[in-house]
Structure 1
Amino acid sequence: MATSRSSTLTTIGVAVAGAALLFSGCSVGASAPRAEAVPTAVPSALKPYYEQTLTWHKCPGGAGFDCATLKAPLDYARPGTGQDLKLEVSRKKATRSARRIGSLQVNPGGPGGSAIGYLQSFAAIGYPAPVRARYDLVAMDPRGVAGSEPVTCLNNRQMDTFTRTDQTPDDPAETRRLVAAYKKFARGCAARSGRVLGHVSTVEAARDMDLLRAALGDRKLAYVGASYGTFLGATYADLYPARVGRLVLDGALDPTLTSRRMNRDQTAGFETAFTAFARDCLRRSGCPLGTGTVGYARKRLSALFRRIDSHPVRTGGSRTLTESLATIGVITAMYDEGAWPQLRTALRAAQRGDGKGLLDLADLYYERDTDGRYANLMYANPAVNCLDLPPAFRTPADVRTSLPAFEKASPVFGRSLAWSALNCGYWPVRPTGHPHALRAKGAAPIVVVGTTRDPATPYRWARALASQLTSATLLTYDGDGHTAYSRGSRCVDTAINTYLLTGRPPAPAHRRCT
């Protein structure tokens, strides 16, 4: 995360890190080649990995966290060949060790969000005290992410250029520049991270989770996954149904959807979130979107984007605010309604010719710090997505054909989000997955959580996943923002805490929270 952020930005950062990201060019994907449930007996070639012992030490910086390294095969089809990965793990011990239940693995999503960063900056202090008291909270950065042999693609200066690239091309020349940017990004990933690029699928990450479960000494997995982390957890359950303990899947994905459909659904989700923001804004004095209807507010924002496209806005530094950065800045604030006041301020400033507020929000999304350094989130994200699922689009002509559907889903964001989904069309590694339902037959009860106005993982995705998993219960939060657990709803927290502490999913009368 970037340094010197306000508390509001830090809160949004947690939501964005847990988001199902599509703006690096791909939507969240389904899994690598469809895998049947893994046999209960551990294959002999994998026994050295399952029997390893974690060596814990104090994490750098202290703060009560332990760290360790887990060894996993680069290729599960060829374990023991010396091509292993080192996966970083962190732990915060239960505060009431005498009543400890076991380990609770956590993942914030992305794909590409650092689970360790999420644990150390949020879960270890933000999860409800009863859960922190009885579980060791454990996070492992998935393969290719943050501390676990991270994928890299561009240097910081190149990434600055990439994020400025116009994603609403108005003519053939702008289209060629966008395609060239995607190709350069892909070539950079192949050149810098070729060893791991074909082995960062969700199925492989789920198998790594089972290695960690065994190394922690847990008979079954307890897990809280947010956003893409729900897909990771559901994939685990489908692979290892007999090893499912208590799984919370918050802000769920629907693994049956194609990448194109997922991108379009997310586009509609951000439009829903913008409508909620606009309605709130229009009730306030000084709203930068005017005083009329939501439709008028939508036109005001679109007009601002067009002006910035023609004339990038100063930010008080060496960088200017382009239309692509302004769009990402607005979208960033859609993840958490707590960011709406900051967005109103940033929009007013941009209308006056000061783009710093929107640029700060965009930098938060891209995990660019104040020294101009990028974390690896935006590299790991397409690496996983482009491997997990065939691309939404393969050519600019494919995008143009779908533009009407995307613009119908969101008149404000549709064009930008359609073009952003072209990136995987130029990816250097062939996809290994396809859309399919995850059933997890025989698994213990699982809780799926959906927020009705979630911008990044639309509520219907939660309903779909809950209907697929044979033992799932759907918990609904009628509200705004991305995900629901530990975000202020006592009803949601009580239901999930009860499940994590007792194994009892919410009863029918307690499956909807407001």
Structure 2
Amino acid sequence: MRAAVLYSAAGSLLLTTLAAAPADGAPGVPQAARLRGVEVAATRARASGIDFGTCPADQKAPDGLQCGTVTVPLDYAHPDGRQIRLTVSRVRATHKDPRNSKRKVPRQGALVFNPGGPGGSGMYFPLVGLLPEWKRIAAAYDLVGYAPRGVGRSAPLSCQDPKQFAGGPTQAPTHPSTAYKKKRIAQAKTYARGCAQRSGSALRYYNSLNNARDLDVLRAALGEDRLTFMGASYGTYFGAVYATLFPSHVRRMVLDSAVNPAPEQVWYRDNLDQSAAFEGRWADFRDWVARHDDVYGLGDTAEKVRRGYETARARLAARPAGGKVGPGQLQAAFLSAAYYDDYWPSRAEALSAYLKGDPGPLLRVAAPSPETAAEAENTSAVYTAVECNDAPWPTDWAVWDRDNTRLARRAPFETWENVWMNLPCAYWPAPRQRPVDVRTGPGELPPTLILAAERDAAAPYDGALEMHRRLADSVLVTERDAGTHGIAGGANPCVNAHLEAYLLQGRLPVRHASCAPHPEPRPGAPRKQALRDHLKGKADRT
């Protein structure tokens, strides 16, 4: 049963118990003032452009990747007030047709990409042009990535000391006790206070509306009259917000793994739906492991595989592997397998080896990395700020407890960990805005391509259907019976053919289209998707 049906009552209660705060920033400021602020900032950005040059040394960028910055107002109601700089990266169009070396491909402009999160950085995205699946697109477009406000060097956000954020081992009970819940409530309150203390009054301006406005300033800075944009996951949401605010500024738009943009879904109910969907994807993984019992020895049924996982959880709770990996780290490692099925072999191998007495593979895939702690803390801070600022959230713990206790009975795998990730929003110190009513009428927006995998858990398929209904003249391409999160330029040639036809020729299917699923991973196969996901800045959240 779909979670949207299960939790309609909870959504209704939410809307009646928490009034929406004034939209994005100071109360009493009309949206027209912010639109004028965008016009002012965009005019300045077009005049100054982006001075692309060598990337900072600590980014370890390869030759060919150029970096620069674009300046945007912190608050678009005051375009002459405090300014922040967003980092931008680019690889110029190659003009080389990979299918015909004698043909010079004409440039079609810049293709701007956002990987989602919130909190993901697209700074390495332009390097996808080195991959075979992207070479035709890279021939025609300058590939442009950027770090949205708050991310990386772009006026970075932080809510706590990264050393505290990345600590382990941690617990992850699927049916937490009252005492454990009280502990996590206290942590959520502390985290929310930390966000406010470290950012002050600026915190309220990190939201999806400003991400969409920043995108228009970036368009102007690139010298583009109309934007060609690809957003993945959360990037589909603020891409759709952009399309709602600036439909005439859109040239082409790809929304890959679309989230549900309905105002009543953003973001509390979207997270409930996500937790429910992860249970199905967790089952897909266990079914696959059971079919390869001859390789992993974890059992020939999904239930036997689950019992092996629970055995590992209990052992790690009593004695963390290497003093670093407890049940929390185990759950996080296996959650990534619910995002991307090419993680399946490494996770199955790690579980099998650990149960047989070898913790090495599990430590490799699950141990916290001090080297990436600062980046992970920054990603979490941006994720929290944007989601908390974007919409009303229930402020009564009893609502969270009731809804998620009920959900965890049928979907225990991710439910409570998702709660702890989002619970700071119950105690958020900044004003929450009313979610944008994402919507365009016939002829207002150029035809848009929406891509979705039918069993995607991070962005459940109902979200793509809702996005399709709200954006007139959009076309939905579905990868059937598959669940990888983010399918553009990936392992499915059928999906990639639709992507290329749209970006290179402006051609879309006449109506809803579908593709057969890409092949399942083979046991022991290396993770070929790893480079692609790194370049696209995949963030394992929304």
TM-score (norm 1): 0.84
Match of 1:54? Answer: 50
Q: 1:437 to 1:232 in 2, by over 3 A?
A: closer
1:348 corresponds, among 349, 352, 361, to 352
Q: Judge conservation of contact 1:452–1:477 (CA < 8 Å) in 2.
A: yes
1:499 corresponds, among 488, 497, 502, to 502
1:262 is the counterpart of 2:261:
no
Q: 1:374 to 1:47 in 2, by over 3 A?
A: closer
Structure 2 gap ranges (5+):
1-21, 25-29, 96-103, 518-542
Superposed CA deviations along residues 340-387 of structure 1, whole A, max 9, x for unmatched, are 0100112123334655544544468xxx45475444211211111111
Structure 2 CA distance for aligned equivalents of residues 425 and 73 of structure 1? 28
Percent same amino acid among aligned pairs?
A: 31
Match of 2:14? Answer: none
Match of 2:5? Answer: none
Q: Judge conservation of contact 2:476–2:513 (CA < 8 Å) in 1.
A: no
Amino acid at match of 2:380: M
Structure 2 CA distance for aligned equivalents of residues 485 and 113 of structure 1? 17
1:102-251 equivalence runs, <5 A: 102-120=109-127, 122=128, 125=131, 127-161=133-167, 164=170, 166=172, 170-194=176-200, 196-251=202-257
> Is the partner of 1:100 in helix, strand or coil?
coil
> Is the partner of 1:88 in helix, strand or coil?
strand
Structure 1 CA distance for aligned equivalents of residues 170 and 152 of structure 2? 24
Amino acid at match of 2:47: E
Structure 2 CA distance for aligned equivalents of residues 71 and 168 of structure 1? 45
Structure 2 CA distance for aligned equivalents of residues 419 and 371 of structure 1? 21
Amino acid at match of 1:128: W
Q: 1:40 to 1:74 in 2, by over 3 A?
A: closer
Amino acid at match of 2:78: R
Moved more, 156-165 or 247-256: 156-165
Q: Judge conservation of contact 2:111–2:142 (CA < 8 Å) in 1.
A: yes
Structure 2 CA distance for aligned equivalents of residues 136 and 507 of structure 1? 28
> Is the partner of 2:166 in helix, strand or coil?
helix
Match of 2:385? Answer: 383
Match of 2:91? Answer: 92
Q: Give the superposed CA RMSD.
A: 2.9
Superposed CA deviations along residues 16-61 of structure 1, whole A, max 9, x for unmatched, are xxxxxxxxxxxxxxx9659689979974576334433221212244
Q: 1:415 to 1:313 in 2, by over 3 A?
A: same
Match of 1:394? Answer: 395
Amino acid at match of 1:217: G
Amino acid at match of 2:113: V
Structure 1 CA distance for aligned equivalents of residues 266 and 35 of structure 2? 29
Match of 1:480? Answer: 483
Match of 1:445? Answer: 447
Structure 2 CA distance for aligned equivalents of residues 72 and 320 of structure 1? 41
Structure 2 CA distance for aligned equivalents of residues 171 and 510 of structure 1? 47
Amino acid at match of 2:510: A
Amino acid at match of 2:284: A
Structure 2 CA distance for aligned equivalents of residues 505 and 219 of structure 1? 22
Structure 2 CA distance for aligned equivalents of residues 389 and 356 of structure 1? 43
Match of 2:426? Answer: 425
| Shift of residue 285, structure 1, vs aligned partner | 2.6
Q: 1:43 to 1:118 in 2, by over 3 A?
A: closer
Q: 1:46 to 1:258 in 2, by over 3 A?
A: closer
Structure 1 CA distance for aligned equivalents of residues 32 and 460 of structure 2? 28
Match of 1:6? Answer: none
Q: 1:218 to 1:161 in 2, by over 3 A?
A: same
Q: State how many pairs are aligned.
A: 474
Q: Judge conservation of contact 2:133–2:490 (CA < 8 Å) in 1.
A: no
Q: 1:398 to 1:301 in 2, by over 3 A?
A: farther
2:108 corresponds, among 101, 104, 128, to 101
Moved more, 292-301 or 236-245: 292-301
Superposed CA deviations along residues 292-320 of structure 1, whole A, max 9, x for unmatched, are 533443344345334433x14222xxx42
Q: Judge conservation of contact 2:256–2:450 (CA < 8 Å) in 1.
A: yes
Q: 1:404 to 1:169 in 2, by over 3 A?
A: closer
Structure 1 CA distance for aligned equivalents of residues 168 and 434 of structure 2? 27
> Is the partner of 1:194 in helix, strand or coil?
helix
Superposed CA deviations along residues 257-282 of structure 1, whole A, max 9, x for unmatched, are 14332112111221121111111110
| Shift of residue 111, structure 1, vs aligned partner | 0.7
Q: Judge conservation of contact 2:452–2:478 (CA < 8 Å) in 1.
A: yes
